[in-house]
Amino acid sequence: MTGIEQRAVCSGVNFRSIRDDRFKTIRMSVHFLWPLAKETVSENSILPFLLSRASRKYPDFSKLNAHLAELYGAVLDANVQKLGDIQVLSVSASGIADRYSLNGESVSAELAKLLCSIIFDPPLENGLFPVQGFEQEKRQLIEMVDSEFNDKRMYAKLKCEELMCAKEPYGIGRCGTRQQIQELKREDLTQVWENLIHRAKAEIMVLGDCDPEPVYQDFYAAFQNLARTDSVDCPNQSVPSAASAAETTEKMDVVQSKLVMGFRTACAEPDAGVPAMKLFNALFGGTPSSKLFLNVREKLSLCYYCSSQFNPMKGILLVQSGVETKNIDRAKQEILNQLEEVQKGSFDENELAAAKLSLCNSYRTLSDSLDGLEAWYLSQTFRPKVKRTEEEAELVNAVTREQVIEAARKLTLDTVYRLEGSGVEA
């Protein structure tokens, strides 16, 4: 990696360049960060998709796509995600590295101008976003929410998070509910856009092999024109432990039942114990050589799948499994048994070494794609010091057996969600 550069653009706006000449492509993104709230989640979520459709300079799909084709088939995309208790609204552009342009054009500079155009100068009609684009993106946002409901593995995970974090912003869906999206009004979205560009925190990221200076200058000029004076606070809550476990059962006409168990870990960014908790997760259920995979799924055949996932921003760990309804209680008990085994130190050095190897390989894999690098550095937004993936791997490798046991003993079961199927899909 050539280097990482970070500097401020204006109040609440940060610019980060990750230069790496291994890549033949570049990627740049603007990530707006806003506190998750029921009142604003759906109106915010539609905005990046609306913005990525057109600008005043390229007012329809035909003109925008023609310009992207001129830039050697560059691509625009939009996304909505959660980073702890924060909603992240992203608009991105990807294209070839400047050194591959045929006539010496700076593709990166052109993409920066295009992003500035669609973010800061949308094709408003009488002060409103075009009605056709609004209705299409509203429909597609509803389809996105429906797809998460139809994917029962995803639905069960989201439902457990909703129940577990019902008193925290994280319990709110990234796009809100279907009903909230249906009730969106085009007349409200201009003010939502104004709020975001003037008050949201923003992370501008440029990745790949390009000169970041022209990109910085374009965004600097665009944000200076707004005369921003402050930005909204983006707090993140972390509940350290659970006094007791709440259990919820939902029945549906599905073939495979789902069991999701949510644990509080008493460990969240920027705690020094996060690398140990990540390694515990890999040993417990985060890899094909983990306790849950080898015992609950393979040896006892209680689950179709069984794995764990640690969220370092929230300090929560979820165990997800697909089971037959008759095996739900046995699977739950065996998952708790495997946790107890780790808490007692019932694992050998080979298991610990395999977990370290798997986790460190995943960090190396992140560095092999611009998307992976972008996700990693976006997750670093609220850290006091940004770490490279290599540095994180070194911290994981330095974790001791005793630290893994200590991390395991911090877990408390908070929520158990069961989606019980009838054995027949509706």
Query: What backbone phi and psi angles, to 5 degrees, belong to 4?
Result: -120, 130
pLDDT in tens, 100-155: 999 888 999 999 999 999 999 999 999 999 999 999 999 999 999 999 999 999 99
With bands split at pLDDT 50, 70 and 90, how would you rate the model's confidence at 91? very high
DSSP code of residue 125: B
Domains of the chain: 3-226 (3.30.830.10), 246-421 (3.30.830.10)
Say whether pLDDT at 10 is over 60: yes
Say whether pLDDT at 230 is over 90: no
Give how far the C-alpha of residue 392 lies from the chain's centroid of Cα atoms, to the nearest Å. Answer: 18
With bands split at pLDDT 50, 70 and 90, how would you rate the model's confidence at 195? very high
d(CA 159, CA 149): 10
Distances (CA, A) of 414 to 262, 266, 268, 379: 6, 12, 16, 25
d(CA 21, CA 18): 10
Considering only CA atoms, which of 329, 293, 330 is closest in space to residue 308?
A: 293
pLDDT in tens, 204-214: 999 999 999 99
Burial of 393 (0-12, 13-18, 19+ CB in 10 A): buried
pLDDT of residue 2: 57
* Tokens coding 336: 């708790």
pLDDT of residue 425: 59
pTM of the model: 0.94
Cis geometry, peptide bond prior to residue 123 (ω within 30 degrees of 0):
no
Q: Supply the mean pLDDT for the chain.
A: 94
Average the pLDDT over 406-422 and give the result: 95
pLDDT in tens, 279-304: 999 999 999 999 999 999 999 999 99
Say whether pLDDT at 1 is over 70: no
pLDDT of residue 324: 94
pLDDT of residue 421: 85
Considering only CA atoms, which of 388, 379, 377, 299 is closest in space to residue 338?
A: 299
Say whether pLDDT at 426 is over 60: no
